[in-house]
Chain A
Amino acid sequence: MKSKGSPGNGAVAAAKRQVLDSEIGNYSTTIWLLGAAVGCLLLISSANVANLLFARALARRREIAIRAAMGASRLRLMTQLVLETLFLSLLGAVAGLLVAFGTIQAIKALAPQDQYRFQEISVDGMAMAFVFAVILLTSFLSGLLPAWSLSNTNLGSAVKEEGGRTGTGGPRRQRTRSGLVIALGLAALPACLLPGLRATRISPITALRD
């Protein structure tokens, strides 16, 4: 039973919020901007990995064309490419997670011990699920696209093209690569702008402190 004069739930919550605001209030916008910058960084990395996987798959166009000429169906080729890129991506993801865990431990060890809730920082399940979802999507698309594009062209010209009769890739291939580079640039732009925004927000506070 609530005693007379004791603060109600609402009052406790308000007090908690006040404490929380006093601790992290000044940093909430910064944290959000930092999160957005990290998101952009993840996008850049994904586009970069997709570009690399796509380039790898394109380099294997000759192999894909030969396999198709030997009788491999479109589904079989797609399955092979997607599974191969998925395997590579998962290896990368596991290695990335190990690096992330190690880095967080190192940062925690180096950071001041009295920093509020700093020691609670970790890679949570949500973040891991998000990273694996991005990896699945990236590897699926980068594995699927080359097999799909080859299955829509004729094998004769694909084999000729990869057999050294033409010096550079066809226009379609050039367009795909250009598209990936543009996507990379677009993803990099906010990542460049966000730290700038963060700096402008922090600078008046720093000025006041000084």
Chain B
Amino acid sequence: MEHRRYTHGKPAAVRDGPPHRVTTANRAPCAKRAESVPLAQPATSHMSALQNIEKCYKLKRGFYYVLQQITFTIEQGEFVSIMGPSGAGKSTLLHILGLHDANWEGEYHLLGHAVHKLPPKERLALQKKHTGFVFQSYHLLDDLTVYENIELPLAYRDVPKKEREAIVCDALDRFNIVGKRDLFPAQLSGGQQQLVGVVRATVAKPELLLADEPTGNLHSDQAKEIMELFCKLNAAGTTIVQVTHSETNAGYGKRIIRLKDGWLARAARV
């Protein structure tokens, strides 16, 4: 129920939790295992460790909570799916994991770096070095060719032009899209655009790949291709966190984290 997410007090005053919140006693064993990791001294084997992450918006009625007391860890090399109904806070959580959002409370460690203590410049450096992001609506730049779109993250990482050329050509070859290099996004199908989106997100070789409903706009066959590509990337060592509404797509991952009304509902091994 939506009214549970409002409070008139200060954000820190809300700690009771809603009636549906799953306690440690009735959680699935795997969920208990996942959430009982002590986070005071973050282990570097964790890709991401979140503790009591909360995000709220100040509205006229009070504070509206998008996320409340989110605590879990993601190990290196994991493939995690975040699921839940619309408005549960999945994308918000993903953007926090991807360091796109700095307005939240709690503790977040990414590869041992205390993100919550970092100034914006260092967060950007961390984001550039370790994360890649795939969007639901592809979000390719319309006036750039496939080649230029893929080159973009490397240019922002100050990779020299010759080196960029070699990396992009290698990526185009690996993902079988050499023939599309000079086409513009509007000249590609949805599946091809998302493939370019995945190549762009992985071209700088990030350790953590985040995908926000990557197959949301795709036909089931194209979705299958993208998910199989994710499996290959995961097998090669990339940690993947995806937001999805599809149980089938979530099945490609190793663990599902479920959110409801901004709260962590439960986690389960696939």
B139 and A154 contact, CB distance less than 8 A: no
Partner among B92, B200, B204 whose Cβ is within 8 Å of the Cβ of A156: B92
Mark the stretch among B37-45, B107-115, B129-137, B257-265 that contacts chain A. Answer: B129-137
Task: Decide if A71 touches B95 in the complex (CB within 8 Å).
Answer: no
Q: Mark each residue of chain B from 126 to 150: 1 if its CB lies under 8 Å from any CB of chain A, else 0.
A: 0110000101110101000000000
Contact A155 B153 (CB under 8 A): no
Residues of chain B contacted by A159 (CB below 8 angstroms): 100, 135, 139
Contact between A163 and B103, CB atoms less than 8 A apart? no
A71 x B124 contact (CB < 8 A): yes
Contact present for A156 and B101 (CB under 8 Å) = yes
Which of B96, B100, B156 makes the CB contact (< 8 A) with A76? B156
Could you tell me the distance between the alpha carbons of A156 and B131 in the complex, rounded to whole angstroms?
A: 14
Q: A63-B141, A156-B92, A156-B95 are in contact. Are A71 and B127 (CB under 8 A)?
A: yes
* In the complex with contacts A70-B152, A73-B124, A155-B95, A163-B139 CB distance below 8 A: yes
**Within the complex, what minimum Cβ distance (angstroms) separates B248 from chain A?**
23
Q: Which residues of A contact B127 (CB under 8 A)?
A: 71
| B91 in contact (CB, < 8 A) | yes
Given contacts A70-B200, A154-B100, A155-B101, whether A160 and B91 have CB atoms under 8 Å apart is yes
Contact of A71 among B96, B102, B136, B157 (CB under 8 A): B157
Q: Cβ of A154 and Cβ of B102 under 8 Å apart?
A: yes
Chain A residues within 8 Å of B137, by CB: 163-164
For A155, give the chain B residue with the smallest CB separation: B100
Q: In the docked arrangement, what's the CA distance between A157 and B104, Å?
A: 13
Across the interface, name the chain A residue whose C-beta is closest to B94. A156
Which residues of chain B have C-beta atoms less than 8 A from A163's C-beta?
135-137, 139
- Tell me, yes or no, whether A13 is within 8 Å of chain B by CB: no
Contacting pair B152 A154 (CB below 8 A): no
Say whether A66 faces chain B, with CB atoms less than 8 Å apart: yes
Q: B100 touching A156 by the CB < 8 A rule?
A: yes
Whether A69 sits at the interface, judged by CB under 8 Å, is yes
Bound complex: CA of A63 vs CA of B149, how far in Å? 11
Q: Could you mark each residue 123-156 of chain A with 1 if its beta carbon is under 8 Å from any beta carbon of chain B, else 0?
A: 0000000000000000000000000000000111
Q: List 17 A-B contacts (CB under 8 A).
A: A63-B141, A70-B152, A71-B124, A71-B153, A71-B156, A71-B157, A76-B156, A154-B95, A154-B100, A154-B101, A155-B101, A156-B94, A156-B95, A156-B96, A157-B95, A157-B101, A159-B100
Give 3 nearest A-B pairs by CB, closest first.
Answer: A156-B95, A155-B100, A71-B156
